[in-house]
């Protein structure tokens, strides 16, 4: 690891340590790319991950916000997967039960196409306001439509007037480079409504580091947290941390926080005790060291496996045409010669292309014609679902998961 002169975006501490670099990766892996040429010539940027020795926050210090696009062509929904929908509905019900969300005002920051806030509105008779520049109107016709408002913009102090009993923000914070500024903005926007419950969900860096999941590191994700670094970020910005937990096979990290003080940047965490499971900065550094020690071997294992399959003339497809797939292919330098297709169950992605490496994204039914020998599933959580989908098409390829 090398120390760099870069202030930590979470705690402001100096001297982050660089531990992982991948150059020239596509700057976006879920935009709909309409041609192979466009995919192969996709704008690129660098991944230079650094960890803060003071708070344990991990940041891509080469991230350039100007290169990211969160427009209507941003297609990251997992809502076509029954496995994901089951999780998503259970999460909505859990939050409704935990915080008694019935007839309440709910804000979702980064609501994507509105799936989740629509569920909260429908399942708890709540009123919802969703913020997202990538919002597409009309994707989800809902009986709760008259209680839902969508604002195609980033959430900011411009919207302080919107009252909320509950603020949720899922899979968004990891896309924001200046996380300290962002959480401070959320806190200021809440003002003196100190009974507001704040819930965030993000990828769990412990899973990425300890599973050496290099395919979970990609350009749009510029910020990575463990329980400990996430809790510390909220505390220094005027929140009390009430709970921290993981879900989805430990891939997701959740936090419940409550604003403290009366619209001031409260106690700044002085003397507050930590919640169970919070890693210290030192423990996070140990996880980073573990990742550094093993990622080269992990990548080489996959390269060798894919080379072996190719040498045997096996047809290999990826299952999952999203970020993990793009990161897997670009990090391993897989070309169209190596793997020709990626499958995705989202019909909006059919006929589009993987950014960077140019594989066509096909619908599952394409496989009945293509007859793959090996299917590599980009997330182990979907193994049962994908296995059943393949069996339903009378296909029995070798199934691998990352
Ligand atoms: Zn820090």
196 Cα: distance to centroid of ligand 1 (angstroms): 26
Question: The sheet that has 316-319: what strands, in order across it?
Answer: 360-362, 341-343, 316-319, 374-377, 398-401
- The reported pLDDT for the residue numbered 264 is 46
Q: Which of 1, 5, 9 is nearest to 58 (CA)?
A: 9
Backbone angles phi, psi at 143, to 5 degrees: -65, -15
- The reported pLDDT for the residue numbered 315 is 97
6 Cα: distance to centroid of ligand 1 (angstroms): 10
pLDDT above 90 covers what percent of the chain? 79
Compute the chain's Rg from CA coordinates. 21
Q: Which of 198, 191, 208 is nearest to 261 (CA)?
A: 191
- The reported pLDDT for the residue numbered 275 is 82
- The reported pLDDT for the residue numbered 83 is 85
Query: Do 160 and 134 form a contact (C-beta atoms < 8 A)?
Result: no
**pLDDT tens figures, 320-377:** 999 999 999 999 999 999 999 999 999 999 999 999 999 999 999 999 999 999 999 9
Q: What is the DSSP letter of 175?
A: G
Total residue length of the chain: 402
388 Cα: distance to centroid of ligand 1 (angstroms): 44
The yes-or-no verdict on residue 378 having pLDDT over 60 is: yes
Query: Do 214 and 344 form a contact (C-beta atoms < 8 A)?
Result: no
Query: Do 81 and 105 form a contact (C-beta atoms < 8 A)?
Result: no
State the burial class of residue 31 (Cβ atoms within 10 Å of its Cβ: 0-12, 13-18, 19+). Answer: buried
12 Cα: distance to centroid of ligand 1 (angstroms): 6
Q: Is 342 helix (H, G, I), strand (E, B) or coil?
A: strand
211 Cα: distance to centroid of ligand 1 (angstroms): 23
The yes-or-no verdict on residue 23 having pLDDT over 60 is: yes
- Confidence class of residue 271 from pLDDT cuts 50, 70 and 90? very low
- The reported pLDDT for the residue numbered 258 is 96
What's the first-to-final CA gap in the chain, in angstroms? Answer: 26
Residue range 182-210: average pLDDT? 94
**pLDDT tens figures, 39-78:** 999 999 999 999 999 999 999 999 999 888 666 667 767 7
Q: Is 128 helix (H, G, I), strand (E, B) or coil?
A: strand
Q: What is the DSSP letter of 387?
A: H
19 Cα: distance to centroid of ligand 1 (angstroms): 15
- Share in percent of the chain as helix, strand, coil (round to 5): 35, 25, 45
371 Cα: distance to centroid of ligand 1 (angstroms): 49
Query: Do 141 and 120 form a contact (C-beta atoms < 8 A)?
Result: no
**pLDDT tens figures, 127-184:** 999 999 878 777 667 889 999 999 998 888 888 889 899 999 999 999 999 999 999 9
What region does 112 belong to: left with phi over 0, alpha with psi -120 to 50, or beta?
A: left
Question: The sheet that has 58-60: what strands, in order across it?
Answer: 2-4, 16-26, 44-51, 58-60, 223-224
244 Cα: distance to centroid of ligand 1 (angstroms): 19
Query: Do 42 and 27 form a contact (C-beta atoms < 8 A)?
Result: yes
10 Cα: distance to centroid of ligand 1 (angstroms): 5
229 Cα: distance to centroid of ligand 1 (angstroms): 8
Angle at 215 between CA 287 and CA 320, to 5 degrees: 140
**pLDDT tens figures, 260-269:** 974 444 444 4
Q: Kindly tell me the sign of the dihedral angle through the C-alpha atoms of 199, 205, 207, 210.
A: negative
7 Cα: distance to centroid of ligand 1 (angstroms): 8
- The reported pLDDT for the residue numbered 265 is 46
**Directed axis angle between helix 82-98 and helix 383-392, to 10°?**
140
Query: Do 19 and 210 form a contact (C-beta atoms < 8 A)?
Result: no
- The reported pLDDT for the residue numbered 92 is 97
8 Cα: distance to centroid of ligand 1 (angstroms): 5
Residue range 290-311: average pLDDT? 97
């Amino acid at each position: 690891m090398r120390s760099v002169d870069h202030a930590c975006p979470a705690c402001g501490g100096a001297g982050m340590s660089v531990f992982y670099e991948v150059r020239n990766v596509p700057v976006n892996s879920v935009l709909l790319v309409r041609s192979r040429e466009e995919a192969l010539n996709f704008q690129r940027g660098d991944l230079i991950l650094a960890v803060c020795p003071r708070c344990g926050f991990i940041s891509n210090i080469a991230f350039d916000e100007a290169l990211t696009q969160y427009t209507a062509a941003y297609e990251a929904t997992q809502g076509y997967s029954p496995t994901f929908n089951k999780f998503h509905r259970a999460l909505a019900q859990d939050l409704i039960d935990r915080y008694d969300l019935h007839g309440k005002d709910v804000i979702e920051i980064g609501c994507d196409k509105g799936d989740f806030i629509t569920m909260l509105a429908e399942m708890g008779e709540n009123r919802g306001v969703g913020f997202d520049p990538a919002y597409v109107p009309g994707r989800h016709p809902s009986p709760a439509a008259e209680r839902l408002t969508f604002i195609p913009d980033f959430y900011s102090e411009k919207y302080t007037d919107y009252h909320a009993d509950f603020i949720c923000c899922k899979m968004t914070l990891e896309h924001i480079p200046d996380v300290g500024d962002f959480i401070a903005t959320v806190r200021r926007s809440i003002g003196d409504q100190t009974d507001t419950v704040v819930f965030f969900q993000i990828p769990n860096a412990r899973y990425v580091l300890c599973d050496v999941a290099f395919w979970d590191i990609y350009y749009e994700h510029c910020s990575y947290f463990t329980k400990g670094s996430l809790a510390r970020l909220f505390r220094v910005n005027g929140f009390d941390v009430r709970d921290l937990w993981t879900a989805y096979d430990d891939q997701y990290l959740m936090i419940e926080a409550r604003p403290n003080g009366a619209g001031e940047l409260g106690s700044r965490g002085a003397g507050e005790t930590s919640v169970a499971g919070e890693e210290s900065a030192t423990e996070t550094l140990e996880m980073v060291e573990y990742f550094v020690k093993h990622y080269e071997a992990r990548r080489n294992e996959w390269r060798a496996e894919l080379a072996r399959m190719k040498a045997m003339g096996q047809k290999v497809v990826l299952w999952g045409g999203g970020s993990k797939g793009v990161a897997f292919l670009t990090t391993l330098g897989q070309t169209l010669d190596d793997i020709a297709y990626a499958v995705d169950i989202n019909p909006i992605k059919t006929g589009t292309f993987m950014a960077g490496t140019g594989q066509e994204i096909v619908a599952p039914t394409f496989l009945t014609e293509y007859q793959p020998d090996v299917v590599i599933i980009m997330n182990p959580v979907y193994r049962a679902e994908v296995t059943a989908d393949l069996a339903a098409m009378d296909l029995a390829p070798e199934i691998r998961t990352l």
